[in-house]
Structure 1
């Protein structure tokens, strides 16, 4: 029997830390938009904390909000903490208020929401929902907004009993939730292309772009303070008798006095006072004060040691009583004028004109935030909840000035294109982002078995909305709410046919998406959100794949469900005798023979698999810690290959991807070398880096295990050269990892401590360590 692991307890420390960070950002950040967003997060974390304190929130449960079924869409903060708010509830939206104003108060309706829900079940409301079903002129932002559309469709098909059963399920929450869709003038039309975000979201991001402080200060100096400085210099130069003051230059170099200061030549200022000089000086001082009221970004004009500030001080003294100037004062003015003339040129000179013209050109250029506003204005003319078919509408220059690349990158996130094209352009830059856009495709795959076009479109809209739900923090091996658990989805289950065409489409999409994820982001684990989509596609293809999620070490329950053992068996069949199996000392025979099952928390688990992972992690001693849990979870990932073997075996990817495997291994290696070479100061970030690079190393080994021997040798030669191109400190620190790969590739094995070679210098590279990781030493 496996060693009993104490059940983790969710406490308030994480919530309090998030609340503290949010408060600091909301109070101290320089960007008002970021402060506002942080303040919203603070409110959400306060709701979490209050709910936990009152016992109204059961963190770790599928139903954390008292009296609310699991299928209701919750507002979930970072880390999976429910705030207690229901996303289909809350204040009435404008379209609801407008509708409500035209309605009578029906009997039995206790709230404004219940009035609206009741109206949509009456004749007029049903006619409106029926028209929306046929036209597609509606939007489902959260899954609940598709419930009454489903009722309408069922009634239209004569399925009154199913419709009534569904209404009975919805009734207890009809006073709080929107079960009706948002109206829209444009039909909702599922597409074969995807986008990362809507036009409306991009507009919001562009609106939040602010001028960088350094640029703002520079522009203020060029537009406001330099002209005033020029006027002050000109005023004093008018008082000079003889040659203009300047710094002596010989052979292109300044001539310096014994004290190191530049030698000033030319006439002296304050020798004559042209007519009207004092009034013009007073006007300059008044102009400066007026400008200073409106322009406060740049502090240099007020700095007592800055030449402009000193010159203004002398101006004030001259205006009040020029006779109060001392010889030292006049000398200081002469030196300021000499420095100015030498550096910029005399007033009216070609040198000064060129300098000021160039500065004026720079100051006249639109700033980043000004260009962002222009691009946002272009986008505002387009439908906000859709994407862009092309970038041409917004990428044209503004007044001859091109749109900066960083702004175009923001706009690209709304570009609608096939997934592979967005990956190639870098718009989809990770498996996590891929997972967010994939429901736009998988929703259509899931709807392929529905004959009725209205229901097919509705199903697609509900599915896409459902996949936007944020996952809850769950304990006791509970699973997230599944799409089929939505009562209105269950109600239409009989009308979905799993025919051969739909299954073939699901399998084809599963192969394409898996291949795209593995070849685009070979160094990273498949994220849980993406695994959910792959699972849905596999189910549609009638494939029972034991796809496993990445487990959180801080809430690990000390056991594994049976699918982890099933996945490990798949890996054992595929990898027996390979480099991967030798490197990690995978007990393939034991895994293939292991067949135990035990009920825990109502789930089928494998105590033998949990015990094996615990033993391999060297964590047999009783106790509980995040690090200990992490070492056990990592062993489960090693034995299962975290879904790689399952996908390769079930979909035949080994044959499909074999030509690309050496390149994928190289990408993994290059990525982890870059990560390991980065200077990271924060210890948590360093720990995360080691874990991530160990995962990339494992993926690399998997790819190398399926290539021919000559390809492996070519990789080893290339990898050794690549390592030796790095700095000496990295080579010395990484040498045990590289030596370990070469040791096992030569047919050798590690000892029980994970070492090999002379003096045990070759080491097995793992990410988790119950103690300081040896790669972080020194």
Structure 2
């Protein structure tokens, strides 16, 4: 039996140390609190791993816990051991029971099921965690006469009835109409706006302008009233003019006392002890016992400020304070953020925004809302997904993956004839897609939707309707083209790959979509879908620029499959990736060596591009877009490489991502004619002057376009230093 690999706690310890440092050094209270919460999660991870209650790397990392339970997952896929659906009854739920088991049992009763069914009919419920859909499914099954399925489901839920919330939250959940989507809710945007605070430097500056400068001017004026003759001023390094403390005007003592009281109310002064302000203040406090030396310092301080800014009441000083008053009167971004948050009060917190113009009006006459704050409002805008991409609200494939379930859930729910159950499924699916993925070893796979017992109970009722398949296909094609056109330089991220895979299954397409595998947990082998994707790639790209540049296999022999950890794996594909990595200069073992093998797997499969283009018949559309997609990918990678990296790790990361963009560009360029390829590479050569070390790769690509061999192939991973960084193997 093969040894099961286990994850090390070293990463978790490093993350805990980092969170503790942030908790101490963060600039504001909210940031410190977030860092403390993060540290608590990493402590739970470490305690669980050391105590044997957590097995990180398994799809069931928490002892005695089914795979379907939604877990709290820290960065990197480390489960903390906490169940997200585990919570005591809320005050509103106490009327149904004093603990979670009592509440769940109530909703298994006739009266409780009736309340659940009423909520389903009116859609006045919200599902935040997948488990919250479980008892509504039970109620629906019993109501429709599916008693056996309901009993089986309750039996599976029973061991956790006292811990997990299996009921929804009874409040309406506004949803975008039609095919509109939104990135966030009004309430979440509002919370973000209200949490915004001004930087410490800005707050200090405004306090100086609004509080300390007026106090300073009054202080100078008080001392000027005591000067006999002309006010002191500087003549070079010498003080000329009259002396203070020679006269005491009527009411001066009262004005002095009022100033000292106002100063005390203002709090601690930001001025240093040797400033003119502090010298004059200390002298004012001790005006009855000043020595001749003290009076001399008062005279010097008055001369300093009068020479620099003018005497109290002078045009020079008035002009300065007038300009500063204009600055001080302007609201800060934090104040404007609170104005925007207040405007959102009239919208449902769980809903979205159909338009932004009414919210974008000036906060006051001549004070517009800054574009950066308006951009935050756009997160709640309900619009077609293409519009959100165009506006920059969706700025990456990862963000696209978070909103795509709003479309795909409706496509998948179209297989359910009952509208109440379809609406329930839609919310359950959205909650499931919000689950964070686990770090997995031993070729384990993430929990799938149909593994949730309440979703599995509905499987017989989800008919394969032709309209639903077509609808899923439409969403799949739309999302794929959008991702490629909007973010041509980046590979499809894993959450998006999973979403596209679900749509492919619903639409009846067999597309071998592969995930990006982290180099530090690579198991040295690949499941059979990688080989299937590579075969499609060789067929689709045969004879093209991509095939010649990366030397793709022209044909594939019958697969050689073996079993590892109980799963079939493509041994010949793994061997080919290792051989190609060796030819590219791989040495030894470790993360970088793994990365070189994985990069070859991405090259051989185009990391999903060829399989998707083939399955969805996208070739005509890609041909139209090819020059633009390639040019934008090349432009992005040149700009990325031209940016100075703060440290070695960041530089290596930039090279890796640039190589991925390079590969994407060559894929697109393979669909263009030779003339367009030459034009694109010529433009790249001009742009690449900003990164002189890229020249050999550009020249190598140009030779392949002209039908010759490639002397310098651009890949991102290396075990012996990278030539693009000036390293030598």
Q: Does 1:113 align with 2:97?
A: no
Gaps of 5+ in 1: 102-111, 249-256, 751-755, 757-762
* Partner of residue 593, structure 1: 557
Contact kept, 8 Å, 2:681 with 2:698, in 1: the verdict is: no
Distance 2:531 2:342 in 1: 55
Within the candidate set 126, 150, 154, 1:163 is matched to 150
SS of the residue 2:348 aligns to: coil
Distance 2:560 2:102 in 1: 55
* Partner of residue 671, structure 2: 706
Distance 2:419 2:709 in 1: 59
Within the candidate set 13, 28, 46, 1:16 is matched to 13
Change (3 A) 1:642 1:185: closer
SS of the residue 1:85 aligns to: strand
* Partner of residue 583, structure 1: 549
Q: CA deviation at 1:510?
A: 0.7
* Partner of residue 764, structure 1: 713
Q: Does 1:687 align with 2:655?
A: no
Within the candidate set 675, 694, 707, 1:734 is matched to 694
Within the candidate set 24, 28, 34, 1:27 is matched to 24
Distance 1:643 1:278 in 2: 83
Contact kept, 8 Å, 2:180 with 2:383, in 1: the verdict is: yes
Within the candidate set 616, 620, 624, 1:655 is matched to 620
Distance 1:681 1:600 in 2: 41
Distance 1:9 1:683 in 2: 29
Q: CA deviation at 1:764?
A: 1.3
Q: Does 1:59 align with 2:56?
A: yes
Q: Does 1:677 align with 2:677?
A: no
Contact kept, 8 Å, 1:6 with 1:624, in 2: the verdict is: no
Distance 2:129 2:679 in 1: 52
C-alpha deviations, 1:572-619, integer Å up to 9, x for none? 011122221222222222xx3352222222222110000000011118
SS of the residue 1:100 aligns to: coil
Distance 1:160 1:448 in 2: 24
Change (3 A) 1:720 1:6: farther
* Partner of residue 520, structure 1: 486
Q: CA deviation at 1:443?
A: 0.2
Aligned 1:237-252 pairs, distance under 5 A: 237-246=224-233
Distance 1:594 1:351 in 2: 89
SS of the residue 2:568 aligns to: strand
Contact kept, 8 Å, 1:477 with 1:557, in 2: the verdict is: yes
* Partner of residue 247, structure 2: 272
C-alpha deviations, 1:147-198, integer Å up to 9, x for none? 1111111122211111111111111211111111110146667742111122
Aligned 1:357-506 pairs, distance under 5 A: 357-400=322-365, 401-506=367-472
Contact kept, 8 Å, 1:594 with 1:608, in 2: the verdict is: no
RMSD (Å) for aligned C-alpha atoms: 2.2
Contact kept, 8 Å, 1:420 with 1:516, in 2: the verdict is: yes
Structure number with the bigger relative contact order (C-alpha 8 A, sep ≥ 6) is 1
Distance 2:91 2:12 in 1: 33
Gaps of 5+ in 2: none
Aligned 1:167-246 pairs, distance under 5 A: 167-185=154-172, 191-246=178-233
C-alpha deviations, 1:18-63, integer Å up to 9, x for none? 1111111122212111111111112211111111112111111111
Q: CA deviation at 1:308?
A: 1.1
Change (3 A) 1:140 1:522: same
Contact kept, 8 Å, 1:135 with 1:187, in 2: the verdict is: no
Q: CA deviation at 1:768?
A: 0.6
Contact kept, 8 Å, 1:6 with 1:623, in 2: the verdict is: no
Q: Does 1:307 align with 2:304?
A: no
* Partner of residue 598, structure 2: 633
Q: CA deviation at 1:554?
A: 1.0
C-alpha deviations, 1:437-461, integer Å up to 9, x for none? 1101100000112111111111101
SS of the residue 1:183 aligns to: coil
How many pairs were matched up? 724
* Partner of residue 511, structure 1: 477
SS of the residue 1:599 aligns to: strand
Contact kept, 8 Å, 1:199 with 1:382, in 2: the verdict is: yes
Q: CA deviation at 1:265?
A: 5.5
Q: Does 1:289 align with 2:264?
A: yes
Distance 1:355 1:189 in 2: 53
Q: Does 1:349 align with 2:314?
A: yes
Range with bigger deviation, 522-531 or 401-410: 401-410
Change (3 A) 1:621 1:307: closer
C-alpha deviations, 1:254-293, integer Å up to 9, x for none? xxx4xxx4x666544444333343553344334323322x
Q: Does 1:572 align with 2:538?
A: yes
Aligned 1:126-145 pairs, distance under 5 A: 126-145=113-132
Aligned 1:317-332 pairs, distance under 5 A: 317=286, 319-322=287-290, 324-326=291-293, 332=297
Q: Does 1:743 align with 2:718?
A: no
How does the TM-score come out when normalised to structure 2?
Answer: 0.95
SS of the residue 2:73 aligns to: strand
C-alpha deviations, 1:542-579, integer Å up to 9, x for none? 00000000011111111001110111111101112222
Distance 1:417 1:368 in 2: 27
C-alpha deviations, 1:647-682, integer Å up to 9, x for none? 111112221122221111111111111111111122
Change (3 A) 1:396 1:93: farther
Contact kept, 8 Å, 2:545 with 2:666, in 1: the verdict is: yes
Change (3 A) 1:688 1:94: farther
Contact kept, 8 Å, 2:659 with 2:714, in 1: the verdict is: yes
Contact kept, 8 Å, 1:139 with 1:188, in 2: the verdict is: no
C-alpha deviations, 1:459-507, integer Å up to 9, x for none? 1011001100110111111111111111111111122222222111111
Q: CA deviation at 1:517?
A: 0.3
SS of the residue 2:582 aligns to: coil
Distance 1:94 1:414 in 2: 29
Contact kept, 8 Å, 1:579 with 1:744, in 2: the verdict is: yes
Within the candidate set 494, 505, 510, 1:544 is matched to 510
* Partner of residue 141, structure 2: 154
Q: CA deviation at 1:355?
A: 2.6
